[in-house]
Every structure is written in C-alpha cells, then in structure tokens.
A and B are shown apart, each in its own frame.
Chain A
Amino acid sequence: MKGFEAIAFFNGWRIAGAGVFIVFTALVTLSFVISQLHKLLTVWENKDEYIKNAMQLFAKKEKVAVHPKLRVSKNFNESARQFNLLTKSLRDPFFSLPRLILLAKKVDISHPHATVNKLIQAKLIVPDDKGFYYWDHTAYKNILEKE
C-alpha cells in the first residue's frame, strides 16, 4: 500500500496534525510562561514593597469603613442629640444649612448631609421660609420622651 491510501490507512493525517499541534502547544505555552517569568521574579524580589503598598491601600479602606467617627449612626436619636448640641453651639437660633453641615464635618459627624436630611424630614430642623432653618426644641423633647 502506498501513496495517499497508505497515509489514510495508517491515520497519517491525524498523527501529523496532532503532532504539530502538540509541539506548538508545548512551545507556545513555554514561551508565554518564560515571557512572564522575569516580571514575576521582579514582583517576588520587591515583594516587601508590594505588600506594604497593598497593606496601605487596605488600611485606608479600613479607616473609611471602621472609623468610629465616620460610622453611620443607626440611632436616629443619637444623631438628633448630636445636632441639638451643634445648633446650641451656633448661638443664633436661625442658621443656614451649609453652615450647619460644615460644623458637622468639623466635629467628624458621619454623613452630615444624609443626617440633616433625615432631621428635616422628622421636622426637627424646620425652614423659616426666609432661607434659614431653626431647631424645633418641642419636637426634640417629644423624641426624648418617647425614648
């Protein structure tokens, strides 16, 4: 048996095709791994620096997440107490919201905008229709009594 018949009979095409494919796969894979090797070694040799940078990044995120001053107060009443004290420190019963929020940020109250919004919705901070706001002490006393 000779010629193409012999090749087909002995699965020559498949063997040749598979052989070329396997050789190429082996060398392409090796080539890729080797091309990344010096980069991996660079990372390994400077691993202390990389770990330090990663830790710093993680630590910053942790601060943002767990700093007690920045933690969102789940207790609305606690927020109300904090802002009650803030409004008293303003001395003027009528105040602007930006000034109140700025003061809240200075004393590290978390999420001052959202908290002020809740207090407005709860009618503890009331608009005076002249662009300013005031603290409703009556409403605040009612909240304290409910506690």
Chain B
Amino acid sequence: MLLDFFANTGFAMADYRNFIMIVIGLIFIYLGIAKHYEPLLLVPIGFGILVGNIPVFKGLGLSIYEDNSVLHYLYFGVTTGIYPSLIFLGLGALTDFSTLLVRPVLMLLGAAAQTGIFITFLGALALGFAPNEAASIGIIGGADGPTAIFLTAKLAPNLIGPIAVAAYSYMALVPVIQPPIMKLLTTRKERLIKMEEPRTVSKKEKIIFPIVALLLCCFIAPAAIPLLGMLCFGNLLKEAVVTERLAQAARTSVLDSVTILLGLTVGASTQADIFLTPKSVGIFVLGAVSFCIATASGLLFAKIMNLFLRTKINPLLGAAGVSAVPDSARVVQMVGQAEDPTNFLLMHAMAPNISGVIGSAVAAGVLWSFMM
C-alpha cells in the first residue's frame, strides 16, 4: 500500500527535466526578490514554474493542460487574450502621455524600434519555424510581455510558455542588454545632447489623445483593437478625472489581479516536456536577437533623424522605443547621466517608450491579420 502511495507521488513521476525547470523557477524568484528585477512579473512566473513542474497523475484534473483543472480555468484568460487586454487597460490608466504630446516626432523612434519584430520574423522563418510561430517569436522584439502573450495565444498557443518566459526575461534584463548597444552605436558627443524643456500640455489634449489614437490606429490596423482599445480606454478613464474611481480600479486591483493570474498561469504552462525542447532554445536566441535589433533600430533611426532636424535629439532616446515601460526610459536616463549628471532624459525617453507600446500593439495586430 505504501508502495502504491509512493508510485502516485511526484517523486516517482519526476524526471531530470522537472528539476531543471524547478531550478529555473527558483532563479526567477531569486532575481525578482533579491535583485529586484521586475519582481511583479518574475515572482509570479517563477512560482508558476514551480507549480507547473510538480509531476502529477494525468486524468485527475491537476495539470494546467487538463480541461477540468483549476489552473486550466485560470489559464483561459491567457489563451483567449483576456489577461493581456486587461493589463493594457491598467497600463493606460497608469500612463501619462504628456511627454508624447509635447514632442510627437519622438513617436517615430517607437516605430523604428518595431522593425526588430519583423526582422526577427524573417529570421525565424529562415530557421524553419512556421509563419505563425515566426510571428509569435518576432513579437518578443517589441519587449512587451502582454502583447507577446496575446499574439502567441492567437497564433501559436503551444509556444506561449517559452515565448512569455523569453519576453519577460528580456524585459527584466533591459538594464543589462541595452547599455552596451547604446554605447556601441552612439558617440560621446551625441550622448551629451540635452533636450529642450517641454511645453505644458493642456487637459483637453490629454483627453482627446486616447480617442484620436484609438480611431486612427485601429482604423489602420483593426486587429490591434483588443490591446490598443483597452490602452486608450484606460488612459481616457485616467484623464477624464470624472472617472477617477474606475481608473483607480483599473491601475490597482484589476492590473494587480490580472498580473498575478497571468504570471502564475504562464509560469505553470512551462512544463518541462513542452519547455525544454530545441525549439525553446531557438526562441530564446531569436528573442534576444529581436530585442537587440529593436534597440539598435531605434538608436540608428534617431541618428538618421538628427540629419534632418534643426534641434537635435539625443539618440539614446531611440533605445527607449522598445515598449519595456518604464525600464527602457530609466536605462536611457542612466546612460545619459553617466556622461553628464545634469542631463535628465527620463521624461523625454518616456515618449518613445510609450510610442513603442502603441507600435508593438499595432505590429501585433498587423501580424495577426496577416496570419489569419
């Protein structure tokens, strides 16, 4: 009887891959808690990896991939794209678009950074991935976890685990990945450029912007509605002031609840037999390439813009065109201040950063519509 009991425990059913994934989960938790690398994401994901890699007896409704399991019901929000949309709602309610409204030309840096998505898409096709998988891998370059999960859930749900882990990992590693690229592609003189003081943005502009952005971008790319629509709605709730209660709920309880469920279930979906495959290694490599190309594209485009602009912009802002808000902007500030401590680039960098969020949502919509 004891032997039968032992045969049904996780110890009997585990293999070395489960332990590898458990170690990865522990590393994520360590990075989140001890090193403060995106703790709100890495801790739930890390814990989810632990949960998902405890071996269970199939048929009892315990695994995330079994229809009648609790985790499966919670995972529904990931596979249907509900959680990413709700996260964008909270993000919109948190974000101040003033810096973008002050200098709209910086939006182009966000656009340039999204070329990394499409270049990686080509690279993934060249490596033998199917088009829908290649599109899901390419979107990692947008450095936007919810967008990556949303698109992967639609196009390649079997790759949600590795793509989500890759996307969030690279988002957490922005302070490590971006600075070398920024220093390589810019000169000291360029890094010392100071930006003009911004003008004051009126309340009316801030209210009109999300409506205009929604109508314009979603008429061009209707498939971006689930993400952009929620982003703009959340922002309108924030700026309208009269709906402050709803905005408060969106950026606190809704955002936090969804982040918990998204992180936990995505982590739990990274089961060893699905995650530890050569494909996952390819995804991680391509994801890193995508991220690097996105950063480089933004930087180089900023340098090209300076050829035509009378008032030069600091090309470091191009690195903030990836949509890792606000980490990319903080990295730009850090690198800029390393050259000149009086150079405050953070608020200026938020403009391309936010534009990157819009750009990656549009790119995801475009890829989804092409793959439909």
Contacts and interface: CB of A to CB of B under 8 A. Distances in A.
Contact of A2 (B105, B126, B209, B358): B126
B128 interface: yes
Interface of B is mostly: helix
Contacts of A31: 104-105, 107-108
Contacts of A50: none
Contact of B126 (A6, A15, A19): A6
A23 B362 contact: yes
A23 B363 contact: yes
A141 B122 CA distance: 97
Contact of A27 (B110, B201, B370): B110
Contacts of A16: 118-119, 121-122
A20 B114 contact: yes
Interface stretch (B44-52, B56-64, B215-223): B215-223
Contact of B122 (A7, A27, A29): A7
A54 interface: no
A79 to B, nearest CB: 58
B204 interface: yes
A33 B208 CA distance: 11
14 contacts: A1-B128, A6-B125, A15-B131, A15-B370, A16-B118, A16-B122, A24-B108, A26-B359, A29-B220, A32-B104, A34-B100, A38-B201, A41-B202, A41-B208
Chain B interface bracket (under 10, 10 to 19, 20 to 34, 35 or more) = 35 or more
A34 B104 contact: yes
B128 A35 contact: no
Interface residues of A, number: 31
Contacts of A3: 126
Contacts of A18: 366, 370
B155 interface: no
A5 B110 CA distance: 31
Given A22-B220, A26-B358, 16 more contacts: A6-B126, A15-B118, A15-B131, A19-B117, A19-B363, A19-B366, A23-B366, A24-B111, A27-B359, A28-B111, A31-B104, A31-B107, A34-B104, A35-B104, A37-B205, A38-B101
A23 B108 contact: no
Nearest to A13: B122
A12 B212 CA distance: 31
Q: Which of A13, A19, A38 has the most CB of B within 10 A?
A: A19
Q: Which of B110, B128, B201, B370 has the most CB of A within 10 A?
A: B370
B355 interface: yes
A47 to B, nearest CB: 13
A13 B121 CA distance: 10
Contact of B212 (A2, A4, A25, A37): A37
Contacts of B118: 15-16, 19-20
What 6 pairs across the A-B complex have the smallest Cβ distances? A16-B118, A27-B111, A31-B104, A31-B107, A34-B104, A35-B104
B268 interface: no
Contacts of A35: 104-105
Contacts of B216: 26, 29-30, 33
A55 B202 CA distance: 29
Interface string A57-78: 0000000000000000000000
A41 B205 CA distance: 8
B221 A22 contact: yes
B177 interface: no
Contacts of B213: 30
Given A6-B125, A10-B125, A41 B204 contact: yes
Contacts of B209: 34, 37
A12 B204 CA distance: 42
